Structure 1
């Protein structure tokens, strides 16, 4: 099974590299390229593929919808995949570059190893697009659009995604280890991690809390909270203990938002106020969170655009 998975990732790597050529040859006026191969976000254009591959967005949406319908958790996985890509060296698909004998990518960095999912969905999307319009759509754009479509498929609001990213030929194992926020960071640590990427504290709340209204977490990441901390609803803690024993079961999954685990909504904020945060607690008066500008941050922030 591992061999098949590695083969798939290698196939995706080859296909994604095609996107580097496609984006650069398609337009030299609509985007500029950084040293890592990514496009300047200020020059991205939602209509980038309108002429060369007009069916691109529809194809991505259909395949994302199919994947999420088959497994709702995949929506959160695709959103997280895009986030873990963008937070290292920009939204450049570097997270898709697999390790080789002479290349060390980001997939085996501590925050990603045995954790990131959705590679096969990206691969299937890229394969279909290559048949429809060879050498045009970059994997970086696929990740960005798939993240948006995953949110919409789970009930969230849509947004216009700027397109024209170029796929990177580099990756940063050290950057993935140092820059991706740890689930064990306290508030100051989270704020610092997001400020490094020029996000405000309000935007950090939208990303770090809001996006976790979907998805699951491993027992290993929240065991200490449900057994050792007092600032948590006791009934909720007991519910979580049923799937997360004190010893063993490290990989057992529990929904981060127990209220509407497969719906992209604001329930996670309400859960925090009610002391039902799986990995985080809320400090302050409930009105602070309920009326915070972070509640009004547009949902595209959750895709790290």
Structure 2
């Protein structure tokens, strides 16, 4: 094929790679045979794209990043056909590493409109939802799932097979060893639930009445003294079944590792929020 105008002369692009005419590839980058770049996708300088890598339109990959590398998993076998998918309008900053999946025809998937800040790592078989923000030096280990519009703080590590729910916020320097339910703030080593991500929910457009229901659910879940199953039953009895609450309860039901606990020394049962409390 003829070299597209947007490909730097020093880039090494395999002739079999599928490069949209409006995509751009920077200096000294390497693009393998199974790579596909969508319209207006941008690949910076000194980037390596190897194996099956699909980069959707308008996505950007920062200088020095490596996408599609072999998983750091002793069970992985060379030649396994797997890959990495990057969603539309996602921005991957400098020196990020994202490894391909471990099983045949599997994908490590990053959703649309995400921001993966510099030096972060996303391991094999992860699923990152739309609008997720991973702050610098985040370490997302294998088989993790990050729900839509969640934020993972800088220098945070998440153990394998762990989930972070939609619209959750995990503070920096945290060690996440259990699932973080949707809509919550979690922080610490190990990470514990600190409250409801009210600011994030406001920005997402959740109405005040729904935010209050989520706050009431948080109080029952973490401050009633009940075990999670008992708290869930009480939530179902006492709170209206709005869609966000249903999402929260379904997430808890699917938690194989359990959900992150409350800080030590939490008080007992707390009454419903007064009308004056910010939501």
- Bin of the TM-score, shorter chain as denominator length: under 0.3
More relative contact order in 1 or in 2 (CA 8 Å, sep 6+)? 1
Whose helix fraction is larger, Structure 1's or Structure 2's?
1
Q: Give me the TM-score of the superposition, normalised by structure 2.
A: 0.28
Whose strand fraction is larger, Structure 1's or Structure 2's?
2
